[in-house]
Structure 1
Amino acid sequence: MAQYQTEEPTVAQMEELKVLVADELTKYASSMLLDPEYGLPATKALDANAGLLLAYEKTGYDTTSTKRLPDCLDVWSAKRIKEQGADAVKFLLYYDVDSSDELNQQKQAYIERIGSECVAEDIPFFLEILAYDEKIADAGSAEYAKVKPHKVISAMKVFSDPRFNIDVLKVEVPVNVKYVEGFGDGEIVHTREEAAAFFKAQDEATNLPYIYLSAGVSAKLFQETLVFAHESGANFNGVLCGRATWAGSVEAYIKDGEAAAREWLRTTGFENIDELNKVLQQTATSWTERVEA
């Protein structure tokens, strides 16, 4: 929002935009992820058939440090999230598999606590893993693209352990497709064959259902990536994406107000999610296949 106006976004603006997205798009989605800080009004606008996931982490916690220690919202718990009508708890964890054992044990213990909370409240636990490298500041660089498959896949292996009581993993695709042959126009880090092997290895890294996050790429590139993942043997179980679907509504909302945002969501936003749903029908597999296997 801030890039489209001179002043800081207000709480009312953030809440209203989330309400608009929920009201216009959840009729085409199985669920919506919201945050308790600014998303609670939007929970009342969800389609009757849409599920609700609420985030448990503080937004953008500790990204100024290479440690990126996890932190929950101060006045929330799995119990309170369930009391708000949520169908699942979502928690975001930054994880560098090559960090010190002391640091990673601290992060693992934190996730164990959340998992135990969710078991006690009988509510599903979605863990979102964002892999990173303590020594590489630019996650969009070719340098990081070279190590990303190792970082993403190894983290999935760690948190597939039953001790964490995780029900679904929300993960990145194992490569930066911008650096994959045939996808980007610049430097090539991976051939298509190498990238395909990483998708297959990722699928074999867990017995849990896993869904892909969009990481803010364009709707078109995300859809192309899902097709490539499927062709590579990745039996992923869906996606949980935001910006790739509704990002354009922000500019319309700030510049021209609610009516313009609704119009964008009903046209371009609908097209984005409708096209994505069609791709998923051809590429994703049911989560029950992993649970029942």
Structure 2
Amino acid sequence: MEYDLLSKLAALKRLFDENGIIGALAIDQRGSLKKMIAAGSSRPLGNEGSIRFKEVVSEELTPYATSILLDPEYGLPAANVRHSDAGLLVAYEKTGYDATAGGRLPDLLTDWSVRRLKEAGADAVKFLLYYNVDEDKKINDFKRIGAECAAEDIPFFLEIVTYDPKIDNVKSLEFAKVKPHKVIEAMREFSKPQYKVDVLKVEVSVDMNLVDGYAQGESAYSQEEAEAYFKEQSEATDLPFIFLSAGVSADLFQQTLTFAKKSGSNFNGVLCGRATGKNGEQAGRDWLQDTGKKNIQVINVVLKETASSWFDKITG
């Protein structure tokens, strides 16, 4: 991807820190968030509960994050109370996916466009894609959106979540064995220039819960195999890429970043949701000021020791 447009470059700089590393907070969840909030409340909170929760998280945690990812449906009020130094990513997809035509097809938000998201203050647009490299090509053809972002001169962050239609449990040993292939080939595919992606947001290429030395029981990979997968994943793209936390514990995610660095991965940061705020939606502002803040600060320290600058990828 060519970074020859000054406005796009300026927008990317607002999302990363001065060293070219991103430590972003993701609270673009919608349906799942409502369920979690409802589980900790004695009365229905509806949309207002989601809106207020996102505002509180934004107020308390964006002073420690380089940027925040929000949805336009319930998250834009939270954008207005974020720390002045925090950049803004906005999600463009509806929650969930359409499986009626085969595969897991994403849907765009009906009442929004990239232009409207940019006018609402977005520094970048994020799109979540459920992707299986081994599925029918006709399904894959639906999964392109970069041209709209390019036309509006706004960075495009593509989040890729892999799956296999024959394996329901993505936490299983069976899926762990095919995951490296799925993740690496997805990165290779969407690094092609026709997709016009600026930054990839991706899973780590292995299930760290099933790496020898980290697994509680049976493992799917030796540490040497896991290191090789991390290195192959990094070499599959010339684009900046960041890891998503995928709901693992804060401690394991921190260990994962250290392991990735040791393996030779040139990742450029993280976009964390549950790993920095697990169960925070039920504990409230006090939890955010204590555990939530500490989790982000620890991640930031780990990132300084492990992540690579995205500047290296646009100058070299």
> TM-score, normalized by length of structure 2?
0.86
Q: Which structure 2 residues correspond to residues 238-253 of structure 1 after superposition, within 5 A? A: 238-252=269-283
Tell me what 1:84 maps to.
120
Q: Which structure 2 residues correspond to residues 152-231 of structure 1 after superposition, within 5 A? A: 152-231=183-262
What is the deviation of 1:5? 3.8
Q: Which structure 2 residues correspond to residues 60-209 of structure 1 after superposition, within 5 A? A: 60-62=96-98, 67-107=103-143, 111=144, 114-209=145-240
**Aligned residue identity for 1:94:** Y
Tell me what 1:56 maps to.
92
Tell me what 1:277 maps to.
300
C-alpha distance in 2 between matches for 1:150 and 1:220: 26
| Displacement over 4 Å in runs of 4+ | 6-9, 63-66
C-alpha distance in 2 between matches for 1:247 and 1:290: 32
* Percent of paired sites with the same residue: 56
What is the aligned-residue RMSD (CA, Å)? 1.3
What is the deviation of 1:8? 5.2
Answer whether contact 1:66 1:134 (CA < 8 A) is retained.
Answer: no
Tell me what 1:44 maps to.
80
**Aligned residue identity for 2:173:** A
C-alpha distance in 2 between matches for 1:247 and 1:185: 21
**Aligned residue identity for 1:23:** E
> TM-score, normalized by length of structure 1?
0.93
Q: How many residues align?
A: 280
Deviation per CA, 1:51-76, whole angstroms, max 9, x where unpaired? Answer: 00000000112268751111100001
1:13 aligns with 2:36: no
Bigger RCO (CA 8 Å, 6+ sep): 2
Tell me what 1:258 maps to.
none
C-alpha distance in 1 between matches for 2:184 and 2:222: 18
Answer whether contact 2:102 2:139 (CA < 8 A) is retained.
Answer: no
C-alpha distance in 2 between matches for 1:9 and 1:166: 37
Provide structure 2 residue ranges, at least 5 long, that are not aligned to the other structure: 1-36
Among 9, 12, 30, the residue aligned to 2:66: 30
Provide structure 1 residue ranges, at least 5 long, that are not aligned to the other structure: 253-260
